[in-house]
Amino acid sequence: MLKRRIIPCLDIKDGRTVKGVNFINLIDAGDPVELAKIYVDQGADELVFLDITATIENRKALAGLVERIACEINIPFTVGGGIDTVKDVSVLINAGADKITVNSSAVRRPELISDIAAQFGSQCVVVAIDTKFLNNEWMVVVDGGRTKTELKTLNWASGVEELGAGEIMLTSMNNDGTKSGFSLDITSQVSSRVNIPVIASGGAGSMEHFRDVFFNTECSAALAASIFHFGEIDIRELKSYLRHEGIAIR
């Protein structure tokens, strides 16, 4: 397997970085441009920017802020939020994004994945899958976890790969913001089902949680937010710890 990646995530609301638990009760976590610079200095492998209320508020992601961040970093940069068309992708790529991520819009119009892949290449398309354990089944949820769907998570993961996605960002809504650890079961199921990279997301609270998700699943990256934003874990120290544990890390 390729060396694993560590990815901080900037959840953006009203131009500020925020973080909550299970996607609610948001608190301010700082200036996104300054945080992005810190993560580059600490050795982050990539950076994800999610305009978390763009879809709910029926607007586009903040291209101006994306451009400001892109000017300050030299690592791969994935941007999501309010992307409904190929034109939206073009705007964000021109603003400095290397990859884009689609979620609710892809569930509602799956051909969007194929359209973006055809125009920009599969390597540009990250499909975010928010999943929740409901009635003994991992199901896809959309609109920041507010809306249930009839899609089973494993089926949707296979489907987005077939449609041309180059990567999956899998977030367990049950674990998000809880700092209780990544959801190893669904992460393992998805990462072993598909042949594209899977980013594990939701629940990181300690260095051991990163070790566990890399040891117990085939995910290629692990993403976290608040533990990085509030200085609970330094990415340099995390990478050193993981190497000591025998995990091949970038």
pLDDT tens column, 53-107 = 666 565 566 788 999 999 999 999 999 988 999 999 999 999 999 999 999 999 9
Fill in the DSSP letter of residue 98. Answer: S
Q: Is the residue at 249 inside a domain?
A: no
Q: Is the residue at 64 inside a domain?
A: yes
Q: Quick check: is 143 catalytic?
A: no
Q: Render the burial of 172-199: b for 16+ CB within 10 Å, e for the rest.
A: bbbbbbebebbbbebbbbbbebbebbbb
CA 193 from centre of chain: 19
- The model's pTM: 0.92
pLDDT band per the 50, 70, 90 thresholds, residue 11: confident
Lowest mean pLDDT among 8-17, 108-117, 217-226: 8-17
Which candidate, 80, 85, 105, places its Cα nearest to that of 95?
80
For the stretch 59-72, pLDDT in tens is 566 788 999 999 99
Q: Quick check: is 234 catalytic?
A: no
- Given a contact cutoff of 8 angstroms between Cβ atoms, the answer to whether 161 and 182 are in contact is no
Q: Is the residue at 161 inside a domain?
A: yes
Number of domains in the chain: 1
* Burial environment of residue 150 by CB neighbours within 10 A (0 to 12, 13 to 18, 19 or more): exposed
- Given a contact cutoff of 8 angstroms between Cβ atoms, the answer to whether 182 and 151 are in contact is no
Strands (E), 37-162: 47-51, 77-80, 99-102, 125-134, 137-142, 147-152
Q: Could you say which of 14, 130, 143, 234 is catalytic?
A: 130
Fill in the DSSP letter of residue 197. Answer: -
Angle between helices 86-95 and 63-70 (to 10 degrees): 40
- In angstroms, the Cα distances linking 107 to 101, 160, 162, 169, 212 are 12, 9, 14, 14, 30
Q: Is the residue at 193 inside a domain?
A: yes
CATH code: domain of residue 51 = 3.20.20.70
Q: Could you say which of 11, 45, 51, 88 is catalytic?
A: 11
What's the domain range around 84? Answer: 5-244
DSSP SS3 for 2: coil
Single-letter code of the amino acid located at 186? I
